């Protein structure tokens, strides 16, 4: 599985990748040198996911500052594109994501 979304300014992207064993959400620099484009990573899961590619979406907030990984419409991981701070990860369908309210709220405006 693979999905991505480029920031409106074109300098960063949020990238989700599942290689058959593990899934990660990356903050990716569009202007970085080859081999140095991944700025930060969040572990999403190991093993077989209980979701499909159609259940995954990557979105930037309205200000183009925070990029989020949504699984079945719920925010599971996020990066602040300015500070590279990361939030969430470790997807489990039986649990709720651990993301600060102010990060979740950024996608509601």
Tens place of pLDDT per residue across the chain (109 aa): 999 999 999 999 999 999 999 999 999 999 877 777 999 999 999 999 999 999 999 999 999 999 999 999 999 999 999 999 999 999 999 999 999 999 999 998 6
pLDDT of residue 33: 76
Cα end-to-end distance, the chain, whole Å: 29
Residue the block writes with tokens 């058959």: 20
Residue the block writes with tokens 């996911």: 49
Q: What is the three-class DSSP state of 43? A: strand
pLDDT of residue 109: 64
Residue 94 has which token pair? 């039986």
Instruction: Determine the structural domain holding residue 90 and report its residue range.
Output: 2-105
CA distance 56 to 2: 9
How many distinct structural domains can be found in the chain? 1
Query: Model pTM greater than 0.75?
Result: yes
């Amino acid at each position: 599985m693979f999905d991505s979304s480029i920031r409106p300014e074109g300098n960063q992207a949020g990238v989700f990748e599942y290689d058959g064993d593990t899934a990660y959400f990356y903050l990716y620099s569009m202007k970085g040198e080859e081999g140095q484009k991944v700025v930060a990573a969040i572990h999403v899961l190991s093993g077989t996911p209980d979701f499909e590619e159609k259940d995954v979406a990557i979105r930037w907030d309205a200000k183009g500052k925070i990029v989020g990984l949504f699984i079945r419409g719920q925010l599971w991981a996020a990066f602040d594109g300015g500070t590279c701070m990361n939030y969430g990860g470790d997807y489990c369908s039986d649990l709720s994501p651990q993301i600060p309210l102010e990060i979740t709220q950024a996608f509601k405006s």
